[in-house]
Amino acid sequence: MNAARDFVLSVEDLTVSFDGFKAVDGVNLYVDRDELRVIIGPNGAGKTTLLDLICGKTRASAGTIQFKKKELTKMAEYEVVRAGVGRKFQTPSIYENLTVYENLEVSFPRGRGVFGCLTFKRTPDVVERVNSVAETINLKDNLHKEAGALSHGQKQWLEIGMLLMQEPELLMLDEPVAGMSVKEREQTADLLNRICKGRSVIVIEHDMQFVKRIAHRVTVLHQGKVLCEGSVDKVQSDPKVIEVYLGH
């Protein structure tokens, strides 16, 4: 049914088994361009493992992951990045001793040859992208601050910015507002609403207030399988979802 449509990401029958235990078990997932998909589900449902499979960190036992018609399941992690997939992990990996500007600058994708790696100039395209990304992530006034001096929330935004420097067509974020203040959560929701334009975004999140502010569609995972999928209203009123997740 979905085969005829042009999804950016088509995951089919995806399964990974760890010593016989299926952490992800026959998952199908189709994500459009300009779509912000949220994945929810109880702890241990397989949400992080699903992102690990898509970004090439974990090898699938079965199934396919088509991204812009390219098969990702056999690719190395760096090849998946090159294909246009950016992934943010739960703990930020920024360079604390570099400024915001420098953190963004070093994330600009460089040439693949020896010269691309060794020579790095502040060319106009780099400067322009740093400034535009800094604006998107609300850090324009902090460009010359050391990243280590940023608030917890700002560090998370900086890491999102570092991913945006690569202009990924699919961006995946694992619990991006964990530990953030209410105000930072609101600003992160606005940020995500801005950056899903022109790309696809997948967010794993528990905070249902936050999910309501960002989700176009929600996929509920439970025991490695898709339990329910649809609008926030649809999944929130689904008795199965209430039983295994929202009721607690």
Which residues would be at the binding site for ligand ADP (CB under 6 A)?
Answer: 18, 23, 41, 43-49
Among positions 37-76, residues that touch Mg ion (CB under 5 A) are: 48
Instruction: Say what the alpha-carbon torsion angle 36, 45, 60, 39 is, to the nearest 10 degrees.
Output: 0
Strands 85-88 and 170-174: parallel
Minimum gap (Å) between residue 186 Cβ and ligand ADP: 24
Nearer CB in complex with Mg ion: 48/156: 48
Tell me if 159 sits within 8 A of 107, measured CB to CB.
Answer: no
The binder of 37, among ligand ADP, Mg ion, none, by C-beta within 5 to 8 A per type, is: none
Cα–Cα dist 49/26, whole Å: 13
Minimum gap (Å) between residue 63 Cβ and ligand ADP: 15
Cα–Cα dist 226/221, whole Å: 5
The binder of 49, among ligand ADP, Mg ion, none, by C-beta within 5 to 8 A per type, is: ligand ADP
Count helices and strands in the chain by DSSP H and E runs? 10, 10
Minimum gap (Å) between residue 236 Cβ and ligand ADP: 19
The binder of 153, among Mg ion, ligand ADP, none, by C-beta within 5 to 8 A per type, is: none
Cα–Cα dist 110/210, whole Å: 35
Minimum gap (Å) between residue 178 Cβ and ligand ADP: 12
The number of angstroms, rounded, from the C-alpha of 163 to the middle of its chain's C-alpha atoms is 9
Nearer CB in complex with ligand ADP: 11/45: 45
- Chain positions contacting Mg ion, by CB under 5 A: 48
